[in-house]
Amino acid sequence: MSARSFRIAAAIGLVLLLASCSLIYGRSIDRPLVYYVRNVTVMADLKVPLDLIESVDRRVSAAIAATRAPQGAERVVLLVKIDRLGYGEGARRSLAQARFTVTATSVETGEPVAQGVFTVNSPTNDPRWARQALAEEIAARIRFAFSLTTPRIRKAVAPRSISTRLKTDPAPVIAPSAAPVKAQATVVEPTVVAPPPVVVTTPVNPAAPEPAEMAAPPVRAAAPAQPARRAADIAKGTPVEQGAVGKIRLRPDCDPAVTANCAAAP
């Protein structure tokens, strides 16, 4: 019995907790709501590119400006917070995905009256247009949730020309434009002077001189080889003498070649 009572008490506490959350944060956005939206603020952390935040803010602000104020609707301001920016799952794993929270706050009381969490995917994976396409998806989801009007694309109209002439003024007189008279120029035929004939002469190469005869240096006759002689055959006093002994004496005081009265003998 006590276990059953505990279960009932836990269920009642859970219901009260959910009811308190709904009272604090307002009702969830599960269908288009009708509010007099006055302004919007888009915020995110540093991981979200700045151009994406600016694109969402610009698109939602344009939708607010294009929406006619509903009669008797409560005035609110929107706070858009981009919670996560990544990629989808499964077949959308190559497409950019954003998860954001939209909170509508009453202008009179300052309390939140509605809140919703949404997840959108970019329709393209082209890196050149992925962020702009994702910003348009976020803005389109916010426009649908708060019954905002999609702004129209303005067509550039060329401005009309304005005349300062009064209706009572006489019509302007426009003189007919005469065809321009072309002056006839005197044609002078140019005098052609024949150029002098050009004589092409072929240069004559001088004959190369005959090479001079070169005299070879005289070749000395080789002395015939003398047969080897024995030592006994060599006599005394010959130029070749085995064991020859000589004596040289130098006299620095007298030189027969220089001094006339110098004796050759010592």
Q: Per-residue confidence of the chain (266 residues) as pLDDT tens digits?
A: 566 666 677 767 766 665 555 444 445 566 678 899 999 999 999 999 999 999 999 999 999 999 998 888 999 999 999 999 988 887 777 888 999 999 999 999 999 999 999 999 988 888 888 899 999 999 999 999 999 998 887 776 777 777 777 778 887 777 777 666 666 666 666 776 777 776 666 666 767 777 766 667 777 766 666 666 666 666 555 555 555 566 666 655 666 666 666 665 55
Rounded to whole angstroms, the maximal C-alpha distance in the chain is: 173
The answer to whether residue 215 sits within a structural domain is no
DSSP E strand stretches across the chain: 27-28, 36-44, 75-87, 96-106, 112-121
Decide if 36 contacts 75 (C-beta within 8 A).
yes
The answer to whether residue 133 sits within a structural domain is yes
| Look-up of token digits 């694109």 | 55
The answer to whether residue 163 sits within a structural domain is no
Closest CA to 78 of 153, 151, 139, 152: 139
The answer to whether residue 66 sits within a structural domain is yes
The answer to whether residue 29 sits within a structural domain is yes
Number of domains in the chain: 1
| Residue 117 structural domain | 20-145
| Look-up of token digits 């321009």 | 180
Long-range contacts of 244-249 (CB under 8 A, 24+ apart): none
CA-to-CA distance for 78 and 112, rounded, in angstroms?
A: 10
What is the domain-level CATH number for residue 98? Answer: 3.40.50.10610
The answer to whether residue 101 sits within a structural domain is yes
The answer to whether residue 32 sits within a structural domain is yes
Residue ranges of alpha helices (H) inside the chain are 2-25, 50-66, 130-145
pTM of the model: 0.49
